[in-house]
């Protein structure tokens, strides 16, 4: 199975450099590696040392770097134009005919469809099995959360679409990809497949990139909590651009906060990290000669477990969170977990949806919710 490494974190912290250096280091070990950019700023090509015109040249296609490494800056507009049967057919099937009078360029402007296209492209690379490793340069934390929560959000909209009260046109457009014609059913299956891989800690891990400054500790803690809430396994924290003794207290706070994770440190680079040689140097400082792919043992997957006859638990990793900071609500088969401004809607399997919620507690960094048949019922 193709291994996937996601790279996200603070904007401007150097996540594109970390993604590029990780991919290059893996390719030096003989792994067939592709680094994908889902960041619309398209800085990956520049980091790889590819010079060209600002707004022309090859768009949205893989570019080779060495015998084992290539990169692909995903261009949503190009992806839609290539897969559209004259500009409408493919996406019209995706949204069940809801966009018959909308052009590819107009659709590409909507974040929801852009996220679907990116995830489908990732899924195509996984199915092709031409790469041992896919490194994804994600947007910064907030946008990455929206991107990686695309499929669960669509499933939520799909359930609301089936309710008597219609939730509106936007929900219908999103939900349509999970219902209807064979073409849209195929898209549904592909999206669900890639979503399952992203939430499988034996396949996909996420690396958080930050810097050592006043706001970095809490911001990175929140990012770790929010990604964990959505079942994304974080395997390390990268502290980038270390240059001053004044940063040491912040480094110590980060190391203390993330003592359960691997924390990697990279000094500030004297020159821009652009091209293979500077990226090689950066990767050596980052990984110290260790395997850049298998930094830690895979986390045990959490989720729904059977505890006994007619008794189940839902386990969610919530680091840095006290029970009083978690808001839990339930509406039939829908169980909602909210921490701060971020929420996760869990659709309970039918066998559990019939059971009442019997309790919830924190055990270390895990939220454990119990569902159990009432005695005598």
pLDDT tens digits, one per residue of 201-242:
999 999 999 999 999 999 999 999 999 999 999 999 999 999
pLDDT tens digits, one per residue of 129-160:
999 999 999 999 999 999 999 999 888 877 76
Residues 311 and 277 in one domain: no
Backbone angles phi, psi at 112, to 5 degrees: -60, -45
Could you list the residue range(s) of the whole structural domain that residue 331 is in? 304-372
CATH code for the domain of 56: 3.40.50.300
Burial class (CB in 10 A: 0-12, 13-18, 19+), 256: exposed
Residue 177 scores a pLDDT above 50 = no
The two structure tokens encoding residue 151: 């499929």
Between strands 69-73 and 33-37, the pairing is: parallel
Query: Given this model, what pLDDT does residue 159 score?
Result: 73
How many domains is the chain partitioned into structurally?
Answer: 2
Cα 274 to Cα 276: distance, rounded to the nearest angstrom: 7
Residue 108 scores a pLDDT above 50 = no
Q: Which of helix, strand or coil describes residue 348? A: coil
Look-up of token digits 């559209």: 84
**261 domain residue, yes or no:** yes
Look-up of token digits 């390390």: 236
**42 domain residue, yes or no:** yes
**296 domain residue, yes or no:** no
Count the neighbouring beta carbons within 10 Å of the beta carbon of residue 133: 22
Cα 227 to Cα 193: distance, rounded to the nearest angstrom: 19
Q: Which are the contacts of 275, defined by CB distance < 8 A and separation ≥ 6?
A: 48, 49
Cα 182 to Cα 17: distance, rounded to the nearest angstrom: 41
Residues 143 and 20 in one domain: yes
Asked if 220 contacts 208 with a C-beta cutoff of 8 angstroms, the reply is: yes
Q: Which of helix, strand or coil describes residue 299? A: coil
């Amino acid at each position: 199975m193709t291994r996937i490494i996601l790279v996200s974190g603070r904007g401007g912290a150097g996540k594109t450099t970390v993604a590029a250096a990780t991919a290059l280091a893996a390719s030096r070990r003989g792994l067939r590696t592709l680094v994908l950019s889902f960041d619309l700023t398209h800085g990956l090509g520049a980091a790889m040392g590819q010079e060209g015109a600002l707004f022309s040249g090859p768009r949205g296609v893989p570019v080779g770097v060495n015998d084992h490494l290539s990169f692909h800056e995903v261009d949503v507009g190009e992806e839609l134009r290539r897969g559209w049967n004259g500009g409408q057919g493919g996406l019209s099937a995706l949204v069940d005919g809801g966009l018959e009078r909308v052009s590819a360029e107009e659709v590409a402007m909507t974040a929801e469809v852009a996220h679907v296209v990116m995830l489908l492209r990732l899924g195509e690379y996984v199915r092709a099995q031409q790469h041992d490793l896919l490194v994804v340069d994600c947007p910064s934390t907030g946008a990455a959360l929206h991107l990686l929560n695309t499929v669960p959000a669509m499933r939520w909209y799909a359930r609301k679409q089936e309710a008597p009260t219609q939730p509106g046109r936007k929900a219908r457009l999103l939900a349509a990809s999970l219902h209807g014609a064979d073409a849209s059913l195929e898209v549904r299956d592909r999206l669900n497949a890639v979503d399952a891989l992203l939430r499988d800690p034996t396949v996909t891990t996420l690396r958080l990139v930050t810097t050592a400054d006043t706001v970095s500790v809490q911001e990175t803690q929140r990012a770790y909590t929010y990604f964990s809430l959505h079942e994304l396994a974080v395997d390390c924290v990268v502290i980038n651009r270390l240059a001053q003794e004044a940063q040491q207290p912040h480094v110590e706070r980060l190391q203390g906060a993330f003592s359960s994770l691997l924390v990697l440190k990279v000094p500030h680079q004297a020159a821009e990290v652009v091209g293979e040689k500077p990226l090689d140097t950066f990767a050596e400082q980052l990984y110290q000669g260790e395997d850049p792919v298998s930094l830690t043992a895979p986390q045990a997957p959490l989720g729904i477990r059977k505890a006994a006859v007619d008794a189940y638990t839902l386990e969610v990793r919530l680091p840095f969170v006290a029970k009083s900071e978690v808001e839990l609500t339930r509406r039939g088969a829908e169980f909602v977990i909210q921490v701060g401004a971020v929420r996760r809607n869990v659709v309970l399997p039918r066998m559990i949806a019939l059971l009442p919620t019997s309790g919830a507690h924190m055990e270390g960094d895990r939220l454990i919710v119990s569902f159990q048949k009432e005695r005598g019922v």
